[in-house]
Amino acid sequence: MPLTRLSILPSTAALRDGLSSALFAAGAQGLQEEGDALVTVLDEAHARAHLDAFVEGARSVDPTCVVEVSELPDVDWSSAWKSRIGAHELGALAIVPPWLAEGRDPARTVVIEPEMAFGTGEHETTRCVVRLMEGVIRDGDTVADLGAGSAVLAIAAAKLGAERVAAIELDHDAINNAEQNVATNGVGDRVIVLEGDAAVLLPLVAPVRVVLANILSSVITVLLPVIGVAVPAGGAAIFSGILVSERERVLAAIGRAGRWRVANETSEGEWWAVVVERTAE
């Protein structure tokens, strides 16, 4: 069904509230601000019945307002969102949605079905961890992914050579998506999805040579003692989900935790991630 876009640009900002009231009185079901303009979108029937009333109501409040009426393209929004999800080439691996996976090497492709669970490759924090993982994960590694979300990082760890990966996630709504992604990528023999609190479950799967934690910086700092016990000397952790502005605070917390050495770090946009190695002393 075609949609009509109505944009009203006030002649002065002082008339914005009056215009808004007039549009709602004429039958507008919603308004949004685009710069200085007020915009509403009408379906075909609504436009036919109310468009003239909208324009007349606006003119009654602000005779010199600028009115623009345009038809929006007829889009199937149930599938159009897919155009916003792309393939992300991240060193040795790529993260892609299922509809872009054809023809790619499965060993170097992490296929993620975009759902509510975090981790499709669209966010900078995920990409930062995957880039750093290539220099950390070794063949045969044991890994724990804390706050696994879609299990994207756990799957990536398996495809980089990890032998046993625990994808730990507290959010029940994310578990099904994580398990589906593990199955889709053919790593069910190496990745297990566990539902629960990382502070409780990590000690049960320890020791692990690598911990991945793309979560809030405040949660990372709380979990540092648990992670320190789970990772033996020579192991490593990759922390992400941290704003660049939080870098110094997080580094200070890592320093206070003891026996961690910063080995690598990266950033993208406003987000920062770090590799820390567990030392013997």
pTM (global) more than 0.85? no
Q: 121 and 36 in one domain?
A: no
Tokens 């892609």 correspond to 96
Tell me: do 95 and 48 sit in the same domain: no
In terms of domains, do 53 and 98 share one? no
Distances (CA, A) of 221 to 130, 199, 218, 250: 21, 12, 5, 7
Average pLDDT over residues 99-109: 95
pLDDT score at 163: 98
Residue 32 sits in the same domain as residue 101: no
Q: Does 27 share its domain with 119?
A: no
- Cβ atoms of residues 38 and 30 within 8 Å: no
Are 65 and 85 within one domain?
no
Mean pLDDT across 19-23: 89
Q: Of 37, 58, 74, which residue constitutes the final position of a domain?
A: 74
Q: What is the pLDDT of residue 74?
A: 63
* Tokens, residue 69: 């009426």
Number of structural domains found in the chain: 2
- Tell me the per-residue pLDDT of 142-151, one tens digit each, with 9 for 90 and over: 999 999 999 9
Query: In the prediction, which pLDDT does 141 show?
Result: 98
Q: Which CATH number fits the domain that encloses residue 155?
A: 3.40.50.150
Instruction: Judge if 39 and 128 occupy the same domain.
Output: no
Is residue 35 domain-shared with residue 130, that is, in the same domain?
A: no
Boundaries of domain holding 147:
81-278
Is the pLDDT assigned to residue 244 strictly greater than 90? yes
* Dihedral over Cα of 125, 180, 223, 162: its sign: negative
pLDDT at 225 over 80: yes
With a cut of 60, say whether residue 1 has pLDDT above it.
Answer: no
* pLDDT higher at 130 or 21: 130
Residue 80 has pLDDT above 70, yes or no: no
**Do 45 and 123 have their domain in common?**
no
